[in-house]
Structure 1
Amino acid sequence: MAETTKIRFGFIGCAEIARKVSRAVALAPNAVLHAVGSRSLDKARAFAVANGFPAATKVYGSYEAVLDDPDVDVVYVPLPTLRWAVLAAGKKKHVMLEKPVALNVGEFDEIIAACESNGVQLMDCTMWMHHPRTSKMKEFLSDVNRFGQLKSIHSNFTLTASADFLENDIRVKPDLDALGALGDAGWYCLRAILWVANYELPKTVIALRSLVRNQFGVLLACGATLYWEDGKVGTFYCSFLANMTVDITALGTKGALHVHDFIVPYEEKEASFFAATESGYDEGVTKWVNKPSEHVIKTEIPQEALMVNEFARLVADIKFKNAKPEKKWPTISRKTQLVIDAVKASIDKGFEPVQIQE
């Protein structure tokens, strides 16, 4: 693809996650790293060099300079998002947001409104959604003969954060990312639950009492139970204080799905999941009959590059084919934020049930 037809990405901020996304842009066939900006020109230069940005990349000493660059098509925002996402959209830049997309759904609605009024695409960076394994798992979940009717979903994302993380990371600072583990690890869990449930919102959310806060009141561990009107139930747990575990378990009337590395696969170029249908014990209860089978899906392009590729494709359609922005992705983000808001509200109300209303 010619350089002139590739979608040009501008980065504002040099957060750790931006390293991963910059590599993804470099690997995506339809995207190019065009600009990076930081509050310090030296920091932006060092980030560009350390992460192999092309020599032609523009390097700026402010975030505003990236937004003002007329050649930037997409702005990647790894910062606390409301201000910068709205400013980027106002400059007619398409917006890729890190998670959480906002501190509450009211803030996110402001971002959506800014993107819609300026005709720009919006997507959050939940990378695992773009791995080919995800679509293969959805095929199984949608098969009524193999999986049946969904009954229960459980997801967890835990990690043992370093002492430096727990002291200095923006995710533990009340004035930066006040949602803590809920907005970070919990985002992934709740997105997974909604994905399994075909994005049908639960009716009621009740936070678990076993939460942990830091000295500033920011959540370091929490969880909740989600209830649907048709009897489905979901649970999640997230923590910065437990060993790395990244799971989804979905139970149906006929089958079950298990995946143990859904956010980042154990290996970059292949990922697996386990599917079972009509499992049970043998007559003597000595072994399983119809054991779960492992399904391995390979990919030459890592999931984060596939995410960039999909976003750049949508932007190219808008830029070159006069297409309208795809509403699927901001709608999914908004539903995830709604459930996060409900979990937080249940915590704030002393673990009382909270009803979700769109």
Structure 2
Amino acid sequence: MAEQSPEPVRFGILGCANIARKVSRAITVAPNATISAIGSRTIEKATAFAKENNYPSTTKIYGSYEAVLDDQEVDAVYVPLPTSLHLKWAVLAAQKKKHVLLEKPVALNVKELDVILEECELNGVQYMDATMWMHHPRTIKMKEFMSDSQRFGTLKSVHSTFTFLAPTEFLKNNIRVKPDLDALGALGDAGWYSIRAILWATDYELPKTVTALRDPELNEAGVILSCGASLSWKDGRVATFHCSFLTNMSMDIVVSGTTGNLRVHDFVIPFQENVAPFYTVEGSKFGELLLAIYPAPSEQEVSTDLSQEALMVEEFSNLVESVRGQGCKPENKWPIISRKTQLVVDAVKASIEKGFEPVEVVY
């Protein structure tokens, strides 16, 4: 008798944020997940959102977030609410025994995140943040190159940028520029990705110190629109990042080793959904009369049948099933990575507030 496949993980969506459109699509595409319910502050808004985004006809529509969490047929929730609301709703979701896929930035500070993670652990639910590029197969291939000591050598430096030119309407009214909704601004929204990229490249070893770069750009309410920082490790490794709502789009990681380099130009969102390139070079040398550099970087292309957000949902759902169906403990990797990312975000913010002094990072 053939073994039956596990039932798909049933997701509830809290809110109708724009990013929820993308993740909703990913849930419908992932082979082991389905949308079971959506809740908004009004049932009219939730109904319109479900229709606009082609939700299954079986999706239950609620006029509150509480109703989604009270639904016994919801296994997990995706939380794309403003950062200032994460603490309340992620904690309540965990207490209701719902597994938590939490949009980034995951909290306003590590103190809030620790409360969320503690509740997830106490209630035996899986936690993951929604940093989608982590789940693209390209990310694995890039790490394989960096782990090859003969080709890449020893890591020396990392530089990452994530910037985009936000329209005037965004800069006036988007939640990411409102101090009561997303007080971390560009640091929490775009900077989160670059900080995660740096930690990924360093195998999640926290830096010794973080020093914010001078002259960040703030709006009238004091929310960060553009900033950067330098990070340093005890062994001499260094990293820098820049994030901005005020600069043409860039999504770069440049990783330099003693014998090789890696570059990727679209790490946050690949230029194409199903294929993603990166570039490697080894043993670079100056040519005759310094007129050229050789060898030229080689392009590596990585294909995927599922988008990176669908792969994220698939991996999260696999972890949920291992807890739900096999009695396993939740995977602790993702809470640890989230917490380390939040610690560096906090350190950058603290360095800005302390006049750009170095801030030590302690786990």
- State how 1:162-311 maps to structure 2 within 5 Å: 162-311=167-316
Q: Once the 2 structures are TM-superposed, how far is the Cα of residue 289 of structure 1 from its aligned partner?
A: 1.8
2:124 is aligned, of 119, 124, 127, to 119
The aligned length equals 358
Q: Spell out, residue by residue over 1:69-89, the C-alpha distance to the aligned partner (whole angstroms, 9 max, x if none).
A: 001011100113110000000
Aligned to 2:114, the other structure's residue is in SS state helix
Q: Give the aligned residue type for 1:25.
A: I
Residue correspondence of structure 1 range 141-180 to structure 2 within 5 A: 141-180=146-185
- Write the deviation string for residues 92-124 of structure 1: whole angstroms up to 9, x where unpaired: 000000111100000000000000000000000
Task: Give the letter for the 1:33 counterpart.
Answer: I
Alignment map for 1:5-44 (pairs within 5 Å): 5-44=7-46
How far residue 2 of structure 1 moved from its aligned partner, in angstroms, is 7.9
Pairwise mapping of residues 22-171 of structure 1 onto structure 2 (< 5 A)?
22-79=24-81, 80=83, 81-171=86-176
**CA deviation map 1:108-150 (0-9, x unaligned):** 0000000000000000000000000000000001110000000
2:336 pairs with one of 327, 331, 345: 331
Quick one: distance in 1 between partners of 2:237 and 2:292? 29
Compared CA separation, residues 3 and 140, structure 1 to 2 (3 A): closer
Separation in 2, partners of 1:2, 1:156: 45
CA positional deviation for 1:185: 0.3
Instruction: For residue 291 of structure 1, report the CA deviation from its aligned partner.
Output: 1.5
Superposed displacement of residue 282, structure 1:
2.1
For residues 162 and 2 of structure 1, the distance between their equivalents in structure 2, rounded to whole angstroms, comes to: 50
315, 321, 342: which one pairs with 1:316?
321
Is the partner of 2:239 in helix, strand or coil?
Answer: strand
Say whether 1:349 aligns with 2:354.
yes
User: Are the counterparts in 1 of residues 30 and 310 from structure 2 also a CA contact under 8 Å?
Assistant: yes
How big is each residue's C-alpha offset from its partner over 1:28-49, in whole Å with a ceiling of 9 and x where there is no partner? 0000011000001000000000
Aligned-partner Cα distance in 2 for 1:4–1:45? 29
Q: Contact 2:6–2:321 at 8 Å: present in 1 too?
A: no
The alignment's C-alpha RMSD in Å is 1.1
Could you tell me how far apart the structure 2 residues matched to 1:350 and 1:210 are? 10
Structure 1, 284-293 or 256-265: larger mean CA deviation = 284-293
C-alpha separation between the residues in 2 aligned to 1:242 and 1:25? 32
Give distance in 2, aligned partners of 1:45 and 1:228.
Answer: 50
Q: Which amino acid aligns with 1:235?
A: T
Distance 1:3 1:181 in 2: 42
Partner letter of residue 52 of structure 2? Answer: A
User: Identity of aligned pairs, percent?
Assistant: 62
TM-score (norm 2): 0.97
3-state SS of 2:89 partner: helix
Residues 239-269 of structure 1, C-alpha deviations (whole Å, 9 max, x = no match): 0000001100000000000000000000001
Report how far residue 281 of structure 1 moved.
Answer: 2.0
Q: Secondary structure at the match of 1:29?
A: coil
CA deviation string 1:203-249 (max 9, x = no partner): 00110003100000000000000000000000000000000011000
Instruction: Please give the alpha-carbon distance, in whole angstroms, between the structure 1 residues aligned to 2:288 and 2:178.
Output: 56
**TM-score (norm: length of structure 1):** 0.99
Instruction: Give the secondary structure class of the aligned counterpart of 1:263.
Output: coil
Separation (CA, whole Å) in 1 of partners of 2:50 and 2:174:
22
Deviation at 1:287, TM superposition (A): 2.4
Question: Aligned letter for 1:180?
Answer: G
Gaps of 5+ in 2: none
Separation in structure 1 between the aligned mates of residue 102 and residue 21 of structure 2, nearest angstrom: 14
